[in-house]
């Protein structure tokens, strides 16, 4: 089975809704690690809609598990990554108007940009990961560009509406994972995975780690809500 990277972006989404100090994503990262997370993932977006620069610095300082920093290939964000030195820098495509990352980075199209950015980070000892659609052509170009890790986009699988479409997407993920491993790459996968559909991906033996965020943070709201209400009731009643 696979390792689990916990993406804590949406703890910060909740905090930014009020621009307060709670809930603190650094505390969330610590709790995730205490409960089995193998790595912490966060996305420092250009628009800073959830994770802030200081969160990344603090997570890097206090969390004793690998930090996987998701980022666009943007000069300012690359400068921050070079300073913070996460264990992994994961390149993703980013559009300001999107609600979440919409697809894999097209490494075939953006090969030279990916290669240049990968070199800058690799030269400082940061392992470069590229988030791509599960296609052999993308895996090959990610390897050629200097990536050590590919994260395979599982959104197509997670959003599939029929059993046959889901099976087809799973097969594509498996094929890309086998190809990537054959090239000596480490394989991660993620996006859109939920409690009911993560296991089938985790069972693909070539996949080393799944990165999951929204489902875990959503579940945490309801796992914790009853106790949170009771605690406040005790105070005011």
User: Which chain residues interact with ligand PXP by CB under 6 A?
Assistant: 7, 9, 43, 70, 92, 100-101, 131, 151, 190-193, 211-215
- Of the residues 10, 50, 70, 153, only one is catalytic, namely 70
Q: For the range 51-55, what are the long-range contacts, defined as Cβ-Cβ under 8 Å and sequence gap of 24 or more? A: 51/8, 51/9, 51/12, 51/25, 52/12, 53/80, 55/12, 55/25, 55/26
- Of the residues 50, 153, 169, 191, only one is catalytic, namely 191
Residue 153 designated active-site: no
Q: How far is the CB of 153 from ligand PXP (least distance, A)?
A: 7
Burial-class residue 220 by CB neighbours within 10 Å (0-12, 13-18, 19+). Answer: middle
Q: How far is the CB of 212 from ligand PXP (least distance, A)?
A: 4
Separation CA 216–CA 98 (nearest Å): 21
Distance from chain centroid for Cα 121: 18
Residue 110 designated active-site: no
Q: How far is the CB of 188 from ligand PXP (least distance, A)?
A: 8
Residue 50 designated active-site: no
Q: How far is the CB of 194 from ligand PXP (least distance, A)?
A: 8
The nearer residue to ligand PXP, 204 or 230, going by C-beta atoms, is 204
Q: Tell me the three-class secondary structure of 7-37, residue by residue.
A: ECHHHHHHHHCCCCCCCCHHHHHHHHHHCCC
State the catalytic residues.
43, 70, 191
């Amino acid at each position: 089975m696979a390792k689990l990277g916990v993406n804590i972006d949406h703890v910060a989404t909740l905090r930014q809704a009020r621009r307060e100090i709670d809930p603190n994503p650094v505390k969330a990262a610590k709790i995730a690690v205490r409960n089995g997370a193998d790595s912490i993932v966060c996305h420092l977006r250009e628009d800073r809609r959830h994770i802030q620069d200081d969160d990344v610095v603090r997570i890097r300082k206090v969390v004793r598990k690998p930090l996987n920093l998701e980022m666009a290939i943007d000069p300012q964000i690359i400068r921050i990554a070079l300073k913070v030195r996460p264990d992994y820098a994961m390149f993703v495509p980013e559009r300001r108007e999107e609600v979440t990352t919409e697809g894999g980075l097209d490494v075939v199209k953006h090969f030279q940009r990916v290669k240049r950015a990968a070199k800058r980070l690799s030269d400082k000892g940061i392992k470069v990961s590229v988030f791509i659609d599960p296609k052999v052509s993308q895996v090959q170009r990610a390897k050629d560009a200097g990536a050590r890790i590919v994260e395979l986009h599982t959104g197509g699988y997670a959003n599939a509406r029929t059993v046959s479409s889901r099976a087809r997407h799973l097969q594509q993920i498996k094929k890309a994972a086998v190809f990537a491993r054959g090239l000596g790459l480490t394989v991660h996968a993620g996006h859109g995975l939920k409690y009911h559909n993560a296991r089938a991906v985790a069972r693909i033996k070539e996949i080393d780690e799944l990165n999951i965020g929204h489902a875990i943070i959503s579940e945490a709201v309801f796992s914790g809500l009853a106790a949170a209400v009771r605690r406040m009731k005790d105070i005011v009643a």
